Amino acid sequence: MHDLWERSPVLLASWVFWVLVSVMLHELSHGWAALWQGDDTPRAAGHLNFNPLVHLGPTALLFFALVGFAWGQMPVSPSRFRMGRLGDVLVSAAGPAMNIVLGAIALTALGVWLVKGPAGTPQYDNVQLFLQTGGWLNLFLAFFNMLPFPPLDGSKVFAGLFAPLRPLIESAQAQQFGWIAIFACSMLGLFSPIERACKVWGTEWALKVAGWVA
């Protein structure tokens, strides 16, 4: 977080905004999909609101304050899903799908701004940085969450599609190993190629929109 502040206070503010909003809407998408599947657990647990603090929790907030990244949680009861295993797949995929939508909105707005914004002004650069951050970050969150590491959404989608592996993926040992694997990969920079790819895709997306607008 200090590094972000040193680079640009606008970048830090953009990062804080997009992480909190993206995680919140990611989790709400899980909740809305669960309601659609007939599960009222998200509403009963008080998680169907737009308060990021409810979705992140104290541990994730502390982690966010220290390293600038966080995760959320949405209580659901898959046994109540009217479509069974397929319902679990759809509910799990709803969060990453929301991140793709948010990224698309931010990058499309960025493309328009590049053409229509007041070029050469501080406002132009600040809005560009804000939208650019939201665009690639949400693409990254979508792809990251679809990795087949418990407890990421991708592992739940994988378990739903391959039922024989479900007990193994949902075991306590797999959950613990998943967290360790995610942390180790983060420390080793193994997620950096995904980040770079999302930045490239985001730039190409915005430039295509800019070309259409121009």
Please report the DSSP string for the chain in residue order.
-HHHHHH-HHHHHHHHHHHHHHHHHHHHHHHHHHHHTT--HHHHTT--SS-HHHHHHHHHHHHHHHHS---------GGG-TTHHHHHHHHHHHHHHHHHHHHHHHHHHHHHHHHHS-TTSHHHHHHHHHHHHHHHHHHHHHHHHTSS-TTSHHHHHHHHHSGGGHHHHTSHHHHHHHHHHHHHHHHTTTTHHHHHHHHHHHHHHHHHHHHHH-
Closest to 148 measured CA to CA, from 197, 96, 195: 96
The answer on pLDDT for 180 being more than 90 is no
Range among 50-59, 60-69, 106-115, 190-199 rated most confident: 106-115
Domain membership of residue 49 (yes or no) is: yes
- Domain membership of residue 38 as a residue range: 2-70+82-213
Whole-number average pLDDT of the chain: 92
CB 155 within 8 A of CB 182: no
Average pLDDT over residues 48-73: 86
Domain membership of residue 206 (yes or no) is: yes
Condensed to tens digits (0 to 9), the pLDDT of residues 2-26 reads 677 677 888 889 999 999 999 999 9
Domain membership of residue 180 (yes or no) is: yes
Domain membership of residue 75 (yes or no) is: no
Predicted pLDDT of residue 1 = 64
What are the structure tokens assigned to 69, written together?
């990244």
**134 or 177: whose pLDDT is higher?**
134
Domain membership of residue 161 (yes or no) is: yes
Condensed to tens digits (0 to 9), the pLDDT of residues 82-122 reads 999 899 999 999 999 999 999 999 999 999 999 999 999 99
| Overall number of domains in the chain | 1
> To the nearest whole percent, how much of the chain has pLDDT over 70?
98
Domain membership of residue 34 (yes or no) is: yes
Condensed to tens digits (0 to 9), the pLDDT of residues 116-149 reads 999 999 999 999 999 999 999 999 999 999 998 8
What are the structure tokens assigned to 195, written together?
């980040």
Predicted pLDDT of residue 69 = 80
C-alpha 2/C-alpha 105 separation (Å) is: 28
Taking residue 195's Cβ as centre, other Cβ atoms within 10 Å add up to 16
Predicted pLDDT of residue 182 = 86
**121 or 69: whose pLDDT is higher?**
121
Domain membership of residue 106 (yes or no) is: yes
Q: CA end-to-end span of the chain, whole Å? A: 36
Predicted pLDDT of residue 211 = 97
Predicted pLDDT of residue 18 = 96
C-alpha 9/C-alpha 136 separation (Å) is: 19
